[in-house]
Amino acid sequence: MTIGHFDLPMQWESESGPQDGASVYEWLTAPPGPSAGPEAASVEAAGTGTFVTEDITMEPTVITVSAARREALLRQAGWTKISLQFYVTDFNETPMDWHTCFVQYLGPTGEENSARSDLRGGNATFGNFWAKPVGMLRFLAIPREGMTSEVMLDGSVPVPADIRGGYLAFRAAQQYREIQVRASTKEEVTEKMQIQGSVKFSIMGAVDIGAGGGYDRTTGKMTAGEVAWTVRIATNAVTITRMR
């Protein structure tokens, strides 16, 4: 049988068995439709001319790349492997502990990388961290379970263009705000701050404003006047500066 310039034998072999020339001709001359060939995953509903196509799920192909090859590809794309260190202090400039830290790299065209480290003795270290010498580093420090007096820290810093020796060190200093509290004693200040729900604060000093003081006729003693106390309250913001 000849169809155009294709010479077809009257019988040919397929994966499902022998096929005669008439079947092949019918397949070649069939109108376009969901059928993709003799082995298509579709069947015709009896007498309707309608094809019902089955869904076929293909398993994903997993490509394994060696660590050396991955590193070479990253370097070719402009990434640099660095060791990151953050020295973290609270609002009183005391090294912090009891936090789990995260660092996230955000590139100018959507590149992203992240890592985790525990904060010990004020230091959080992220070894073999990949970043480009452009973009931003975001630093997060989350209090561990049970540390109800601590707050989460959050700050960002640009990635410097000059990464010397594959090492970057930053200082992350917790920020604070100051308020004035009128009270006669430190104990009274503490009670007022706790009632307001302040998590972490320090009483820095006081200025006598002279209100309420005088002679108590009942006790026969002088009473202290009201004082304006400066109170420093911790915030979740950190200022990050480069140390090296």
pLDDT digits (tens, 9 = 90+) for 115-169: 999 999 999 999 999 999 999 999 999 998 877 778 899 999 999 988 888 999 9
What is residue 83's predicted lDDT score, i.e. its pLDDT?
A: 95
Do 141 and 170 touch, CB atoms closer than 8 A?
Answer: no
Q: Residue 16, exposed/middle/buried by CB under 10 A (0-12, 13-18, 19+)?
A: exposed
| Encoded tokens for 182 | 């009128």
Give me the percent of the chain exceeding a pLDDT of 70.
70
Residue (of 104, 206, 90) closest to 149 by Cα position: 90
**Fold of domain 67-175:** Immunoglobulin-like (2.60.40)
Whole-model pTM: value is 0.65
What is residue 104's predicted lDDT score, i.e. its pLDDT?
A: 97
CA distances from 182 to 93, 178, 190, 191, 209 (A): 26, 13, 11, 12, 9
- Separation CA 152–CA 150 (nearest Å): 7
Residue (of 164, 162, 157) closest to 87 by Cα position: 157
208 against 138, higher pLDDT: 138
Q: What is the pLDDT of residues 63-88, one digit of tens each?
A: 888 889 989 999 999 999 999 999 99
The answer, yes or no, to whether residue 218 has pLDDT greater than 80, is no
Q: 171's torsion region: left (phi>0), alpha (psi -120 to 50) or beta?
A: beta
What is residue 195's predicted lDDT score, i.e. its pLDDT?
A: 78
Backbone angles phi, psi at 192, to 5 degrees: -65, -40
What is residue 158's predicted lDDT score, i.e. its pLDDT?
A: 96
Residue (of 33, 40, 13, 32) closest to 24 by Cα position: 13
Please report which confidence band the pLDDT of residue 227 belongs to, taking 50, 70 and 90 as the band edges: confident
